[in-house]
């Protein structure tokens, strides 16, 4: 369960907040067949976005944000292989436990019914964690006056230097985690200023210390 807010402070300047309000993890132990459930708060992120270019159909912005470590970083459950003799291969972590500072460069273009977007950024992680290169690309379309859809690719890639040991955890919240994902999402305007959304996401290439699988996220948003 997450939350996101974007508030305009002045022309071309916005304050944004995002956080996983609650994280849930369900992990099976193949040795017993039991499924353990773990809950943890998310790590809130606060940042500023400034528009630096607006010309014809094109817009460009820069943003900077900081994310605070609220969730504990320790391992809460062993992760073992699903075949005998069930060796331990890692541990489930509910949080990274370190501060994140990141900057992003964003560019986008809007046409009559189609829009394009791309972003490139750098993420610094505290406590000796490896820094990461971040990117995303989006193709979106207005399908009808009430329905919009987006296809997105995104990646986070650890750069391989850092003093902290790497963590093998299916949550992707430990040191050294990298991934590339694809998502397909749609939004439906259900009332004036109110939207329902759904997104399907799956991992692609370059996956390290993060589980595979298809995930579904539902959302409710408002604009004012």
At residue 25, the pLDDT reads: 79
Nearest partner of 38 among 50, 49, 24, judged by Cα: 24
CATH fold of 49-222 reads Porin (2.40.160)
- The single-letter DSSP state of residue 223 is -
What's the confidence (pLDDT) of residue 44?
Answer: 92
Q: Where are the domains of the chain?
A: 49-222
b/e string for 146-158 if b means 16 or more Cβ within 10 A? Answer: eebebebebbbbb
Q: Is residue 142 exposed (0-12), middle (13-18) or buried (19+ Cβ within 10 Å)?
A: middle
Contact status, residue 138 vs residue 152, Cβ threshold 8 Å: yes
Tens of pLDDT along 52-82?
A: 999 999 999 999 999 999 887 777 777 777 7
Cβ neighbours, 10 Å, residue 178: 20
Q: Mean pLDDT for the chain?
A: 88
> Each residue of 28-52: pLDDT tens digit?
788 888 888 888 888 899 999 999 9
pLDDT at 122: 98
pLDDT-based confidence at residue 213 (cuts at 50, 70, 90): low
As a whole number, mean pLDDT of residues 106-127 equals 96
User: Whole-model pTM?
Assistant: 0.86
Q: What is the pLDDT of residues 163-205, one digit of tens each?
A: 888 877 777 788 888 889 999 999 999 999 899 999 999 887 6
pLDDT of 210 above 60: no
- How far is residue 196's CA from residue 189's CA, in Å, rounded to a whole number? 6
pLDDT for 212 equals 60
pLDDT at 101 over 90: yes
Q: What percent of the chain has pLDDT over 70?
A: 96
Place of tokens 């459930």: 37
pLDDT value, residue 194: 93
What pLDDT sits at residue 30? 81
């Amino acid at each position: 369960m997450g939350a996101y807010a974007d508030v305009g402070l002045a022309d071309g300047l916005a304050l944004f907040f995002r956080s996983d309000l609650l994280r849930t993890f369900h992990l099976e132990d193949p040795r017993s067949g039991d499924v353990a459930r773990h809950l943890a708060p998310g790590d809130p992120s606060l940042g500023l976005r400034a528009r630096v270019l607006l010309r014809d159909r094109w817009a460009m912005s820069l943003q900077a944000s900081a994310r605070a470590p609220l969730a504990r970083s320790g391992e809460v459950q062993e992760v073992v292989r699903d075949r005998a003799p069930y060796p331990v291969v890692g541990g489930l972590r509910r949080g990274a436990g370190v501060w994140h500072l990141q900057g992003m460069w964003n560019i986008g273009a809007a046409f009559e019914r189609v829009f394009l977007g791309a972003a490139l950024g750098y993420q610094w992680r505290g406590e000796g964690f490896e820094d990461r290169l971040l990117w995303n690309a989006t193709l979106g379309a207005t399908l009808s006056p009430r329905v919009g859809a987006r296809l997105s690719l995104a990646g986070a890639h650890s750069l391989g230097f850092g003093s902290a040991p790497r963590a093998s955890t299916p949550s992707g919240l430990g040191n050294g985690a990298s991934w590339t994902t694809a998502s397909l999402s749609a939004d439906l305007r259900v009332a004036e200023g109110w939207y329902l959304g759904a997104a399907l996401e799956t991992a692609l290439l370059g996956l390290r210390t993060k589980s595979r699988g298809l995930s579904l996220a539902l959302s409710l948003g408002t604009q004012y």
